[in-house]
């Protein structure tokens, strides 16, 4: 403090002056709070925290950007990768989809439910993601998830909804291959309709078993 | 006269200072679709259907004040499609079986679905399990059809001004609740007014049912928004 | 070697029938069963719903004769709002009647011209390529056109009374939500040929004549096919006249003796029981006084003309007399005579529609009444396919807590089984092979009862069927699909 703003501004990048406190967590040897100059490369931060083998880094908390190994040269600053301070390291042993699911759960949990896109949209988005990760998705589902995410961002009332699709949208951008490996290219449509499940309530009401009466 | 000058989809409009985009649009004969807005109630900005674009930003027309020189985009394809998807979200989020719903033909959600020519929602139906709850002696709250517009929360008051309805829980579990004692005091007239305020078939004054025949219902002849759009053409 | 034959339509969800016939080692029929899948989900579905929704809700759950469900539920709701069953205003009651007879007219026209006439015109052994409604259209163009237009006429009546051709909202608890404007009335009375009521009555008379002529030439088939004695049940007007909308419950036995003597239908539970059998989704109703084994009965056109003493319109009454004379005044137990009875009812419906249209009460303004609230209501109507029962209970908040429906097809469950059994005995027994003609006869027997099953509404030859042949140890020997 006593060295003044001028000194502070010497550090960092033109638009992001000074230093930043970063909370590094996740799969690294030395998690904790680091004070670094703006403009630090993700790569260098990982080196400090002992997480160089990360498969992905989530910068800026759940609503931020998820970057892949190829992007570890990028810099932590407002011009490139803005962050409120959270950096989550996702190690190679992790299922990235699971991490994305968790982030979406976080948003669904945190949504106040006031406005439609955030309240209803995020739940639908997560279900779509589940469809894809369970291997029932098609190329069309990838297009849809992208467009639904954009709608939620544009139409939501507050910052939560406006950023909540980011875990999906940024991974879809930066880990496209991972999604593409999940979807089926041999089919345009896979039905999620389960006849037996759909008629279960009605059948149990009458005390009848569908298969029995049917094949007697 | 220091009227504010702005445009909606290229049409030159004028607003009084302090007017929201929605109010000014109405005064200028421009229709902006909306669902939670209700004349005389404080805007809630919850349905987001009235979202317009100004520059690269999106904002709810019902809460955003007009500023001098604003260039507002309203009826443009991508925005309209996003609005349509909000309508679809509301359909799949609850259980809307229009053909057996007494609000059919008088329902604003359904009217907007018609406006947007929604056939099948792009989203999968969620089929939530919800209940019908009696609200005092004259009203039923059909939770299956509630769209959380909060009009009842804002508009249904006891004679001494206390709010009967409130909103509880969060996220997808958010729902409308009410004070049993206050609800017990609602008169038949108040119940009818509450039903008329609700945009959908969620608040039902008892025994009205299908009293209005098909053909005589609010949107049978005049689709939603037509009162503005007819004037314009 | 014992065989088991299974005839199974492919459609599943909307309700479908399956026929199994077991033959013993010498090829004799030991057992035949007509299985019906019917999900009675509505009983749960309506729980908690406001009672005034019932007429609109329940008509959707069973979509083949929606107006009947609409009206039966409305009649039950009338009781709940304290005006039923005889207290409606004249305008309300007559508007509902018009709706109902309009539906009867369109349903009977559809059944005869589209579903039944191909069987009669071409016979069960004809090439399936012509034995369907397209075949009728090609060979008997006028008949096919009449069928289409009569159906349309009935639907226009429904539209004018219920607000929509299918699934309208017209009947509401305690009355109706609209009357008939003079323009609407005149569109039925005075429209240019053929879409006016006089032409419709003329065509209906023509259809009756057509059938009588056909009967003369094919007595063996019409009289002998799947004939068996049974009891018969329906509503009749208090004076014994035929009435589809309202009346008292009457049942007669195969000889015409009254076994249910004009009782108040609101007490139906005292008279009618329902038996559950493990092998069928559909219950088996029976008259309590006769017990489970002997108490089964037929409903529908055949039953109605057996229970009624007369028909209260002149042209239909004349035909009724001819029809009755054929069985010397005794109940008619011949399955294929249902077609004859149905056409007489078609004619009657046309006449009633005209009477109602000429009645100025339809332009009345008093549409609704209200009385002392009750918490339970029963409503019955005669649907095209037979007696339809609706029964609801509600709680103090107007929400339904219990619903019980006995639909016409359920009432005819045992008769359809008997008809299938007759075909098994008389057509399939001791035959080395199952031919398409034999399968068609099973279908014809079922279809005479006009069951409201999705499979049954396929034109003949289009009904998806599967036949499986089993030996005594249950091994599949043969499988035939059509
Ligand atoms: S509330 Fe509106 S949208 Fe929902 S079922 Fe009723 S008519 Fe349809
Ligand atoms: S009950 Fe009606 S008015 Fe109240 S929030 Fe629900 S939809 Fe809106």
Q: C81-103, pLDDT tens digit by residue?
A: 999 788 999 999 999 999 999 99
**pLDDT exceeds cutoff 50 at C37:** yes
Mean pLDDT of A15-25: 85
A205 pLDDT band, cuts 50/70/90, is very low
**Ligand 2 pocket residues where CB is under 6 Å:** B 146-152, 176, 198-200, 202-203
C-alpha to C-alpha distance for A179 and A165, rounded to whole angstroms? 15
Mean pLDDT of A18-43: 91
| pLDDT confidence of residue A206 | 44
Protein residue with least CA distance to atom 4, ligand 2: B152
C382, C243 in Cβ contact below 8 A?
Answer: yes
Question: In chain B, helix, strand, coil percent, each to 5?
Answer: 30, 20, 50
C194, C149 in Cβ contact below 8 A?
Answer: yes
Mean pLDDT of A42-53: 92
C169 is written with which tokens? 């909202």
* Every domain of chain C and the residues it spans: 3-40+419-481
Mutate which of B38, B202, B204, B205 for ligand 2? The one with the most ligand atoms within 8 Å of its CB, which is B202
| Three-state DSSP state, C250 | strand
CB within 8 A of A106, min separation 6: which ones?
A62
Ligand that lies nearest to the alpha carbon of residue B135, given by its number in the listed order: 2
For residue C394, report the phi and psi dihedrals to the nearest 5 degrees: -125, 160
Q: For the range C209-214, what are the long-range contacts, defined as Cβ-Cβ under 8 Å and sequence gap of 24 or more?
A: C210/C143, C211/C339, C211/C340, C211/C343, C212/C322, C212/C340, C214/C120
Q: b vs e for B76-98, b when ≥16 Cβ sit within 10 Å of the residue's Cβ?
A: eeebeebbbbbbbbbbbbbbbee
Residue at B91 is within a domain: yes
CATH code, domain with B41: 3.10.20.740
Q: Which atom of ligand 1 sits closest to the CA of residue B105?
A: 7
CB contact under 8 A, B100 and C172: no
CA of residue B64 to ligand 1 center, whole Å: 29
C-alpha to C-alpha distance for A99 and A64, rounded to whole angstroms? 13
For residue A197, report the phi and psi dihedrals to the nearest 5 degrees: -65, -35
Residue at B60 is within a domain: yes
- Element holding C479 (H helix, E strand): strand C476-481
| pLDDT confidence of residue A49 | 93
Neighbours of A174 (CB within 10 A): 17
Closest Cβ opposite residue C281 in set A195, A201, A206: A206
| pLDDT confidence of residue C458 | 47
Angle (nearest 5°) at CA C404 between C294 and C453: 75
B61 and B102 share one domain: no
B95 is written with which tokens? 């259980």
Residue at B168 is within a domain: yes
Q: What is the mean pLDDT of chain A?
A: 84
A194 pLDDT band, cuts 50/70/90, is low
Using alpha carbons, select from C321, C231, C315 the residue that is nearest to residue C272. C231
Full set of structural domains in chain A with CATH: 5-90 (3.10.20.600), 95-216 (1.20.1440.230)
- For residue B138 and ligand 1, the question of a CB distance below 6 A is answered with no
**pLDDT exceeds cutoff 70 at A207:** no
Task: Render chain A in DSSP notation, one character per residue.
Answer: -TTHHHHHHHSB-SSSBSEEEEEEEESSSS-EEEEEETTEEHHHHHHHHT-TT-SEEEESSTTSEEEEGGGTT-EESTTSS--SSEEEEE-TTS-HHHHHHHHHHHHHHH--S-SHIIIIIHHHHHHHHHHHHTT--BHHHHHHHHHHHHHHHHH-SSHHHHHTTHHHHHHHHH-HHHHHHHSBSS-S------HHHHTHHHHHHTT--HHHHHH-
Higher pLDDT, C437 or C220: C220
Q: Collect all residues from A whose CB is shorter than 8 A from any CB in B.
A: 108-117, 119-121, 123-124, 127, 144, 148, 151, 154-157, 192
| pLDDT confidence of residue C142 | 82
For A211, C166, C192, the CA distances from C459, given in Å and listed in that order, are 28, 21, 31
| Three-state DSSP state, B141 | strand
C11 pLDDT band, cuts 50/70/90, is very low
CB contact under 8 A, C40 and A202: yes
Neighbours of A106 (CB within 10 A): 16
| Three-state DSSP state, B58 | strand
Mutate which of B146, B157, B166, B204 for ligand 2? The one with the most ligand atoms within 8 Å of its CB, which is B146
| Three-state DSSP state, C87 | coil
B76, B110 in Cβ contact below 8 A?
Answer: no
| pLDDT confidence of residue C121 | 73
**pLDDT exceeds cutoff 70 at C131:** no
| Three-state DSSP state, C375 | coil
Mean pLDDT of A174-188: 85
| Phi-psi domain of A9 (left: phi exceeds 0; alpha: psi -120 through 50; beta: other) | alpha
* Interface membership of A204 toward C (CB under 8 Å): no
Using alpha carbons, select from C114, C121, C123 the residue that is nearest to residue C459. C114
- How many CB pairs below 8 A link B and C? 58
Residue at B225 is within a domain: no
| pLDDT confidence of residue B212 | 93
- For residue B30 and ligand 1, the question of a CB distance below 6 A is answered with no
CB contact under 8 A, C37 and A203: no
* Interface membership of B45 toward A (CB under 8 Å): yes
B148 and B60 share one domain: no
Task: Render C89-124 in DSSP notation, one character per residue.
Answer: -HHHHHHHHHHHHHHHHHHHHHIIIIIIHHHHHH-T
Lowest mean pLDDT among A199-208, B194-203, C326-335, C374-383: A199-208
B54 and B166 share one domain: no
**pLDDT exceeds cutoff 50 at B72:** yes
Q: Provide the CA B225 distance to its chain's centre, in angstroms.
A: 12
Best of C158, C397, C401 to substitute, by most chain B Cβ atoms within 10 angstroms, is C397
Residue B82 DSSP one-character state: H
Best of B101, B132, B184 to substitute, by most chain C Cβ atoms within 10 angstroms, is B132
Mean pLDDT of B151-164: 94
**pLDDT exceeds cutoff 60 at C12:** no
Q: The pTM is what?
A: 0.87
| Three-state DSSP state, B5 | strand
C-alpha to C-alpha distance for B95 and B146, rounded to whole angstroms? 9
Mutate which of B86, B95, B98, B132 for ligand 1? The one with the most ligand atoms within 8 Å of its CB, which is B98
For residue C188, report the phi and psi dihedrals to the nearest 5 degrees: -100, -35
Residue at B182 is within a domain: yes
C94, C234 in Cβ contact below 8 A?
Answer: no
Name the burial class of residue C124, with classes exposed (0-12), middle (13-18) and buried (19+) by CB atoms within 10 angstroms of its CB.
buried
C31, C22 in Cβ contact below 8 A?
Answer: yes
CA of residue B174 to ligand 2 center, whole Å: 12
C-alpha to C-alpha distance for C16 and C341, rounded to whole angstroms? 26
For residue B72, report the phi and psi dihedrals to the nearest 5 degrees: -100, 130
C428 is written with which tokens? 């399939």
CATH code, domain with B113: 3.30.70.20
| pLDDT confidence of residue A178 | 93
B99 and B34 share one domain: no
- In sequence order, the β-bridge partners of residue B100 are none
C6 is written with which tokens? 């299974």
Structural domain count, chain B = 2
B187 and B112 share one domain: yes
- For residue B197 and ligand 1, the question of a CB distance below 6 A is answered with no
Q: For the range A101-106, what are the long-range contacts, defined as Cβ-Cβ under 8 Å and sequence gap of 24 or more?
A: A101/A126, A101/A129, A101/A130, A101/A133, A103/A58, A103/A62, A103/A167, A104/A129, A104/A164, A104/A167, A104/A168, A106/A62
A106 is written with which tokens? 């976080």
- For residue B109 and ligand 1, the question of a CB distance below 6 A is answered with yes
Neighbours of C108 (CB within 10 A): 30
Residue with token string 């190690």: A91
CB within 8 A of A110, min separation 6: which ones?
A160, B171
Give the structural domain span for B191: 84-207
Q: Which atom of ligand 1 sits closest to the CA of residue B106?
A: 7
C-alpha to C-alpha distance for C229 and C214, rounded to whole angstroms? 23
Highest mean predicted confidence (pLDDT) among C224-228, C275-279, C287-291 = C287-291
C-alpha to C-alpha distance for C340 and C338, rounded to whole angstroms? 5
**pLDDT exceeds cutoff 50 at B24:** yes
C379, C78 in Cβ contact below 8 A?
Answer: yes
Mean pLDDT of A156-167: 93
For residue A205, report the phi and psi dihedrals to the nearest 5 degrees: -60, -40
C-alpha to C-alpha distance for C94 and C100, rounded to whole angstroms? 10
């Amino acid at each position: 403090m006593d060295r003044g703003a001028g000194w502070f501004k010497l550090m960092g990048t033109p638009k992001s002056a000074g230093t930043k406190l970063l909370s590094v967590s996740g799969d690294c040897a030395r998690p904790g709070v680091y004070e670094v100059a703006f403009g630090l490369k993700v790569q260098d931060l990982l080196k400090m925290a002992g997480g160089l083998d990360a498969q992905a880094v989530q910068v800026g908390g759940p609503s931020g950007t998820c970057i892949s190994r190829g992007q570890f040269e990028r810099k932590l600053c407002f011009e490139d990768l803005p962050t409120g301070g959270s950096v989550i390291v996702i190690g190679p042993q992790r299922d990235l989809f699971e991490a994305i699911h968790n982030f979406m759960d976080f948003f669904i949990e945190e949504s106040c439910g006031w406005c439609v896109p955030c309240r209803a949209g995020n739940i639908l988005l997560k279900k779509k993601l589940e469809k894809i990760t369970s291997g029932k998705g098609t190329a069309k589902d990838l297009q849809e998830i992208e467009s639904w995410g954009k709608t939620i961002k544009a139409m939501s009332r507050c910052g939560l909804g406006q950023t909540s699709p980011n875990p999906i949208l940024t991974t879809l951008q930066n880990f496209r291959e991972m999604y593409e490996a999940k979807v089926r290219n041999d089919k345009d449509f896979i039905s999620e309709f389960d006849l037996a499940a759909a008629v279960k309530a009605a059948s149990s009401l009458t005390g009848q078993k569908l298969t029995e009466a049917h094949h007697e | 006269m220091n009227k504010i000058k702005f445009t909606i989809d290229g049409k030159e409009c004028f607003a009084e200072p302090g007017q929201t985009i929605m109010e000014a649009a109405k005064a200028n004969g421009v229709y902006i679709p909306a669902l939670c807005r209700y004349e005389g109630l404080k805007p809630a900005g919850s349905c987001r259907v009235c979202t317009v674009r100004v520059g690269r930003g999106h904002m709810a027309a019902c809460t955003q004040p007009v500023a001098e020189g604003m260039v507002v985009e309203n009826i443009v394809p991508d925005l309209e499609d996003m609005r349509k998807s909000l309508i679809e979200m509301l359909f799949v989020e609850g259980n809307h079986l229009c053909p057996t719903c007494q609000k059919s033909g008088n329902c604003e959600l359904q009217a907007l679905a018609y406006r947007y020519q929604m056939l099948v929602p792009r989203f999968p139906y969620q089929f939530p399990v919800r209940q019908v709850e009696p609200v005092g002696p004259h009203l039923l709250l059909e939770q299956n059809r509630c769209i959380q517009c909060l009009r009842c929360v804002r508009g249904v008051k006891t004679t001494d001004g206390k709010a009967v309805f409130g909103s509880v829980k969060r996220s997808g579990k958010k729902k409308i609740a009410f004070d049993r004692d206050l609800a017990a005091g609602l008169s038949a007239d108040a119940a009818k007014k509450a039903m008329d305020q609700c945009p959908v078939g969620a608040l039902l004054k008892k025994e009205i049912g299908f009293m209005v025949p098909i053909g005589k219902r609010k949107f049978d002849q005049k689709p939603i928004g037509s009162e503005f759009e007819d004037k314009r053409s | 070697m014992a065989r088991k034959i299974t005839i199974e339509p492919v459609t599943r969800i909307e309700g479908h029938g399956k026929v199994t016939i077991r033959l013993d080692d010498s090829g004799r029929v030991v057992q035949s069963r007509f299985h019906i899948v019917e999900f009675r989900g509505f009983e749960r579905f309506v729980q908690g719903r406001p009672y005034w929704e019932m007429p609109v809700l329940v008509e959707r759950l069973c979509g083949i004769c929606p107006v009947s469900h609409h009206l039966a539920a409305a009649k039950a709701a009338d009781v709940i709002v304290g005006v039923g069953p005889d207290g409606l205003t004249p305008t309300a009651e007559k508007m509902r009647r018009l709706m109902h007879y309009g539906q009867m007219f369109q349903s009977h026209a559809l059944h005869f011209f589209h579903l039944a006439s191909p069987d009669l015109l071409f016979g069960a052994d004809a090439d399936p390529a012509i034995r369907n409604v397209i075949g009728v259209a090609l060979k008997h163009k006028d008949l096919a056109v009449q069928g289409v237009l009569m159906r349309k006429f009935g639907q226009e009546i429904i539209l004018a009374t219920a607000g929509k051709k299918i699934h309208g909202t017209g009947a509401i608890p305690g009355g109706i939500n609209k009357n008939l404007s003079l323009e609407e009335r005149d569109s039925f009375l005075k429209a240019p040929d053929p879409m006016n009521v006089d032409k419709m009555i003329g065509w209906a008379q023509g259809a009756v004549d057509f059938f009588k002529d056909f009967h003369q030439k094919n007595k063996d088939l019409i009289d002998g096919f799947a004939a068996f004695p049974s009891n018969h049940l329906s509503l009749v007007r208090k004076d014994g006249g035929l009435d589809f909308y309202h009346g008292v419950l009457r049942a007669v036995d195969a000889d015409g003796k009254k076994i249910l003597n004009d009782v108040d239908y609101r007490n139906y539970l005292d008279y009618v029981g329902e038996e559950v059998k493990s092998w069928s989704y559909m219950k088996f109703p029976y008259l309590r006084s006769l017990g489970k084994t002997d108490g089964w009965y037929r409903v529908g056109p055949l039953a109605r003309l057996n229970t009624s003493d007369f028909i209260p319109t002149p042209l239909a009454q004349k035909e009724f007399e001819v029809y009755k004379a054929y069985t010397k005044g005794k109940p008619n137990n011949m399955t294929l005579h249902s077609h004859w009875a149905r056409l007489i009812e078609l004619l009657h419906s046309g006449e009633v529609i005209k009477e109602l249209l000429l009645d100025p009460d339809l332009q009345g303004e008093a549409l609704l009444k209200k009385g002392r609230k009750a918490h339970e209501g029963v409503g019955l109507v005669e649907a095209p396919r037979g007696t339809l029962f609706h029964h609801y209970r509600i709680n103090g908040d107007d929400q339904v807590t219990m619903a019980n429906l006995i639909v016409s097809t359920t009432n005819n469950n045992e008769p359809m089984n008997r008809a299938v059994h007759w075909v098994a005995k008389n057509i399939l027994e001791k035959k080395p092979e199952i031919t398409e003609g034999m399968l068609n006869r099973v279908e014809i027997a079922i279809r005479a009862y006009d069951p409201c099953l999705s499979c049954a509404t396929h034109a003949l030859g289009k009904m998806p069927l599967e036949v499986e042949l089993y030996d005594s140890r249950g091994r599949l020997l043969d499988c035939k699909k059509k």
